[in-house]
């Protein structure tokens, strides 16, 4: 078991009250499996991803990742743990506009204090892996959306995190580009035996995953393909 989350609760403060988004969410992910997380808009998918990725802390419940109870960590240990074990991919790419493609990709390595030599070595590998071997010196705004998302994939995987979390990674791409980006993400995660949790509104994306989880009313259900109809675009 790579990840085990149990009895997660989360609420956003709202005009003096609390708006509960996650109610008693439990899930587990096996090492190396690819899982889709679907559910209607506002059902709490991104909120859950932020908890699993250590960006937010659950109000109650536990998250164990790679044998470590990381939901109990606080700063600065939480940030260090996240940098070592987790990679994020967002719908909006979230590249740093003032850094080059190369600088964006090696950022996770720089933050972990990996030597400049090794950074450059891994950079060459990853620029090839995402099929952008000559674009290292470009800035994000000089790339197409699909190219930017490939940079984001390299950045999410370069430090070899055990868990890769992707929040609607093809949501801003046309169908053809999205399919290409998705192929790349799944095959690279496969090659590196990484566990992948992908939030999506696309049936095509969900069907690429080995397993599908459905968020409904702040809880999570194991989905059966044939029965899931309402949450896809």
Ligand X SMILES: Nc1ncnc2c1ncn2[C@@H]1O[C@H](COP(=O)(O)OP(=O)(O)OP(=O)(O)O)[C@@H](O)[C@H]1O
Asked whether position 46 contacts Mg ion by CB under 5 A, the answer is yes
Asked whether position 43 contacts ligand X by CB under 6 A, the answer is yes
Asked whether position 12 contacts ligand X by CB under 6 A, the answer is yes
CA–CA separation, 73 vs 60, rounded Å? 13
CA–CA separation, 153 vs 139, rounded Å? 16
CA–CA separation, 231 vs 216, rounded Å? 10
Q: What angle do CA 10, 12, 18 make, to 5 degrees?
A: 95
The residues, ordered by sequence, that sit 6+ positions from 177 with a Cβ below 8 Å of its Cβ are 144, 145, 146, 170
**Rounded least distance, CB 61 to ligand X, Å:** 16
**Rounded least distance, CB 45 to ligand X, Å:** 3
Cβ closest to Mg ion, residue 49 vs residue 106: 49
Contact 186, 208 (CB under 8 A): yes
Sheet holding 195-199, edge to edge: 86-90, 163-167, 195-199, 34-39, 211-216, 219-222
- Environment class of residue 116 by beta-carbon count within 10 Å: exposed (0-12), middle (13-18) or buried (19+)? exposed
**Rounded least distance, CB 44 to ligand X, Å:** 4
Asked whether position 231 contacts Mg ion by CB under 5 A, the answer is no
Selected range binding ligand X among 41-49, 114-122, 123-131, 174-182, rule: CB under 6 A: 41-49
Q: Could you say which of Mg ion, ligand X, none residue 125 binds, taking C-beta under 5 to 8 angstroms by partner kind?
A: none
Size of residue set near Mg ion by CB under 5 A: 1
Residue 138: phi, psi to the nearest 5? Answer: -75, 160
Cβ closest to ligand X, residue 45 vs residue 85: 45
- Shortest Cβ contact with Mg ion: which residue? 46
Asked whether position 43 contacts Mg ion by CB under 5 A, the answer is no
Q: Could you say which of Mg ion, ligand X, none residue 156 binds, taking C-beta under 5 to 8 angstroms by partner kind?
A: none
Cβ closest to ligand X, residue 104 vs residue 202: 202
**Rounded least distance, CB 134 to ligand X, Å:** 34
CA nearest to 26, candidates 40, 10, 7, 45: 7
**Rounded least distance, CB 10 to ligand X, Å:** 9
List interacting residues with ligand X (CB under 6 A).
12, 19, 21, 39, 41-47
Which stretches of the chain bind Mg ion, using CB under 5 A? 46
């Amino acid at each position: 078991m790579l990840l085990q989350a149990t009895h997660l609760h989360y609420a956003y403060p709202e005009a003096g009250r609390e708006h509960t988004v996650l109610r008693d969410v439990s899930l587990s992910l096996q090492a190396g499996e690819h899982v889709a997380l679907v559910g209607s808009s506002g059902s709490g998918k991104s909120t859950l991803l932020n908890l699993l990725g250590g960006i937010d802390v659950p109000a109650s419940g536990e998250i164990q990742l790679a044998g470590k109870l990381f939901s109990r960590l606080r700063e600065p240990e939480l940030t260090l743990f996240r940098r070592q074990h987790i990679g994020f991919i967002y719908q909006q790419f979230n590249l740093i506009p003032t850094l080059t493609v190369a600088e964006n990709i090696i950022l996770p390595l720089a933050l972990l204090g990996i030597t400049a030599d090794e950074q450059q070595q891994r950079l060459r590998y990853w620029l090839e892996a995402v099929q952008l071997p000559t674009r290292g010196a470009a800035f994000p705004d000089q790339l197409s959306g699909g190219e930017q998302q490939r940079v984001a994939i390299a950045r999410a995987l370069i430090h070899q995190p055990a868990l890769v979390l992707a929040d609607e990674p093809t949501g801003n791409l046309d169908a053809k580009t999205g399919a290409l980006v998705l192929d790349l993400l799944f095959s690279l995660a496969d090659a590196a035996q990484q566990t992948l949790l992908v939030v999506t509104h696309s049936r095509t994306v969900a069907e690429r995953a080995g397993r599908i989880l459905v968020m409904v009313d702040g809880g999570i259900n194991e989905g059966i393909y044939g029965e899931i109809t309402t949450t896809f675009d």
